[in-house]
Amino acid sequence: MNQAASTGDKLILAAIDLIAEQGYDGTTTKEIAAAAGVSEVTLFRHFGSKQSLLVAAFERYHYAGEMTKLFNERLTWDVRTDLLLIGRTYHAIMNRNRKLLAIAQKGGSRLPEEVHKHASQHPVQLKKLLTNYFSTLHEQGKIAPIDPEITAMSFMWMNLGAFSSNLLESSNSDVTLDTFIEQSVDLFARALAP
């Protein structure tokens, strides 16, 4: 079943782990090769350069299609239910891409541009989807007439802040992430009640 990872994959995974922790400039090709359990020459034989290795990592492991699919297929038009699903999905996606996002955030002097392009797609798209969602809810008379764009930004940024914060210090408090999502959705549902 679980066939051994290929040399290329081992290198990509090691690169993601190390660069996410130490930054692009702070991680050497020798370290990456050692962590992957291969020699440094093998790294260059496979990817040619440190930059191409990182680009390959992003192309292989960065995906963002779930949100659009969710908005097209799984909405119930009940505020509480939908926001809960959106919030949970948001954190699931972000968490899965956590390391790649950390890499983009930290930057680096010779860090390839592809990295930033990949990382900046999410928020723009989500804001549009959420704004449309709140607009429609208002047209349906299900929520009070509050600016849909502001509402979308508030919800999005609240979850981005929660995510960034948990990223840094996981043992921040005794409130678990899921409790926070549930309760904050409640808060929004109250605010939007017609």
Partner DNA sequence: TGCTTTTGTAAGTACTTACTTACATTTTAT
Partner DNA sequence: ATAAAATGTAAGTAAGTACTTACAAAAGCA
112 contacts its own copies (rule: CB under 8 A): no
**Secondary structure (3-state) at 174:** coil
Measured in residues, the chain has a length of: 194
Q: Interacting stretch for DNA, rule CB under 7 A, among 45-53, 55-63, 78-86, 127-135?
A: 45-53
x-or-dash pattern for DNA, window 75-114, by CB under 7 A? ----------------------------------x-----
**Minimum CB distance to DNA, residue 3 (Å):** 11
Residue 123, contacted partner among DNA, its own copies, none, CB below 5-8 A by kind = its own copies
7 contacts DNA (rule: CB under 7 A): yes
123 contacts its own copies (rule: CB under 8 A): yes
Contacts for 45-48: CB closer than 8 Å, 24+ residues apart? 46/7, 46/8, 46/11, 47/8, 47/11
Residues 180, 158: Cα–Cα separation, whole Å: 11
Q: Which is nearer to DNA, 106 or 142 (CB)?
A: 106
* Cα four-point dihedral sign 138, 125, 73, 183: negative
Residues 178, 194: Cα–Cα separation, whole Å: 26
List interacting residues with DNA (CB under 7 A): 6-7, 27-30, 37-42, 44-46, 48-51, 109
